Structure 1
Amino acid sequence: MTEPFPPAGTPVTAVPAPAGPGDRPPPARFAFDAHTWKEIVHLLTNLPVSLIGFTYTVTVLFTGVGLTVTVIGLPLLATGLMGARGLGRLERARARRLLGVRVEEPSRLPRSAGGFWPRLWMVLKDPVSWRTVLYELIRLPWGVLTFAVTLTGLFVLWPVLPFVVRALADGDRAMVRGLLSPSDELERRIAELESDRGVVVDTAAADLRRIERDLHDGAQARLVNLAMGLGLAKEKLLEDPDAAASMVDEAHGEVKLALQELRDLARGIHPAVLTDRGLDAALSSVASRCTVPVKVTVDLDERPAAAIEGIAYFTVSELLQNVSKHSGARSAAVDAWLSEGRLFLQVWDDGRGGARLEGGTGMRGLADRLDAVDGLFVVDSPEGGPTTVTAELPWRDRAGVPAGQPRTAKRASARRRR
């Protein structure tokens, strides 16, 4: 059953997913269940694993620092720190498997375009690597303690061993979360922005290829034919004025078609009506070209930044093209409004439904484009219809100042305003 939508314009905040059974194990009791045995295995393997990590860390650290006066010192230290990142990844996997600790992987180091030395400095100051080094250094004494207590408890403290094991395992969980998890929201945000940057670059490249193709196959080809036709008309002007006049008429028709194609191309990039009159007039214009009647409602007291306005226009334009081509709808509606510092767009139609992000209608591209600018894209299209597509964009005014409101959930949906 489909969940009811909230009232129009109401942002839906994120609801964290409940922790799984492995993330928070059940309370310890006088019994040896699967959680307890996994924790015992983890504590017994702490000693050999911490020996390996401690030996590697001390060797790399002292060797790299000791050789800093030479050419190979800093590169060797940087290589060792990159290896420490790998050790941290293995430790997170072990904790996830045996302790049920779900820790996000830290973001990868960004690719530096500044050459060898900027890249080297970026590795040397990487907080993730240095926290992993600290983790490996303090793990050896902790590993000796947990190994000794657990091994002894198997023959001495058997009745209360589950409680002892749980207390030691909680210490491991705390260290993993404190030292091997992303340091703060900034690292996660960096990873997200890196991904978004790639989407923006790919989208811009695809748009440039589309424009080049449209120019080459459309207006450019017509202008070439026009030049050839005018050349032939010039040659026949004195010999056969009537034929030359006919060729000029044909060339005039070609000019009209070329101008229309150029207007369509320019409208697809950034229409003049959007620049001159804003989103309301632009959406009404694109709705008038849809093959089904479209009701447009825009409730905006001011205009957003030009970039946001352009993305909003492009999104609605693509969605209305889908309505025309694929929906089989008899009517549609477009709504735009501002709520909690976010620009909401909603396109509704009473067609056959069944639209999906991976349905081959370009919706995945729209979702990626909006995600790249910190936007959201939600499709609600049950079989048999109706289809409601909600897009959400960050609001920035014409001066580029953001509204400063919190971002809503990626699974948010808003009811089409009646």
Structure 2
Amino acid sequence: MSTPFLRRIDLRGQTLDAMALRSVVPRADVDVAAALASVAPICEDVRTRGVPALLELTERFDGVRTTDVRVPAHALTDALAALDPQVRAALEESIRRARLVHADQRRTSTTTQVVPGGTVAERWVPVGRVGLYVPGGRAVYPSSVVMNVVPAQAAGVTSIAVTSPAQKEFGGSVHPTILAACALLGVEEVYAVGGAQAIAMFAYGARDADGTVVVQPVDVVTGPGNIYVASAKRYVQGVVGIDSEAGPTEIAVLADATADPVHVAADLVSQAEHDPMAAAVLVTDSTALADAVEEALVGRVAATKHAGRVEEALRGRQSAVVLVDDVDAGLAVVDAYAAEHLEIQTADARAVAARVRNAGAVFVGAHSPVSLGDYCAGSNHVLPTGGTAAHSGGLSVQTFLRGVHVVDYDERALREVAPHVVALAQSEDLPAHGDAVTARFAGEQR
């Protein structure tokens, strides 16, 4: 028998707390901090030299020599006109469903009357300008255009720019399917810049050699990318807001003996084809299922287009079968793992899914594969990776909104609370804070 694709981690008979589980679940070796040494000079070059630096970096890293970083408007309309009708129909349906879901994420401003004459309102205000990164390495991702643009538009962002790596085979422009997706969404500002330099371009803006502003800086940068994109986002965080530092994609499947091994194998392969560093994890209490999945993987990996990439991902240390005593123990494992994508393929899958605490997105039952969420479920596929789903959510309308508190007290309401403000100010040895209140009533008889 050939060597199994997935190594096995046997946790049966063990009682492990959350700390112990976090140390044993499989993880990819991704060191974003180490990449900063490479990324920092790139970002600083873009910050200081602007467009000339972008053009040189595009030639160095993408093998494309261009004279302009912005994609001309006619290229977007031409790409849409030439788009395969079936792909266009699929994109339009993806957009329609995503808009339905994201429209319901809009926040409602609230006003609370704290006391008579004293209110605190919370207004939800969209950021003014966003820069959306769309990968363009091993694959083309028009779906990522949809997932980034739709929530920004639903939030009410008025200035949206998209960037994606320049493609040699398309004359140094962005892949035409990405351009077509931008055109469908009404996005007109598109740049042919990839990698860390694209993140720096959005964070700092970019001027031409003569000082003309070519790219205005943004307030928030979002979108997935490789380790250099993630590292660049860490470098510029604080200058701009970011959604997350996305790492390699992950799928975890919590399954019991009722799961179909062909479905499980197909879903593991589907995410493994993204990247050799992609993680594919099966958590199960059934050794029979684990064996059947391995058997199904043999033929499925051999038959898939990107077999080499898939096999490398499945055999990597980031992928494994985790054997547990029961579904409850499996839930503890997947919560410790905090997967980007988590499938529940068990008996009573909805009830099990309702108990999950940590996941970027949860896919319930046999007919909700991750691939559905990647394209046409209506959910967002820009999700937290590397265990960050334990504290962060995926891209949503909230990513592009800021809550602003508006405090409105009249004289009577301030007078009533003044002694409390003064007492707290004195307790913190900040007497001028109290004076700022009492100054409003100076000269009054007490």
Q: TM-score range, shorter-chain basis?
A: under 0.3
- Point out the structure with the larger strand share: 2
The TM-score with structure 2 as length reference comes to: 0.24
Q: Whose RCO is larger (CA < 8 A, sep 6+)?
A: 2
Larger radius of gyration: 1
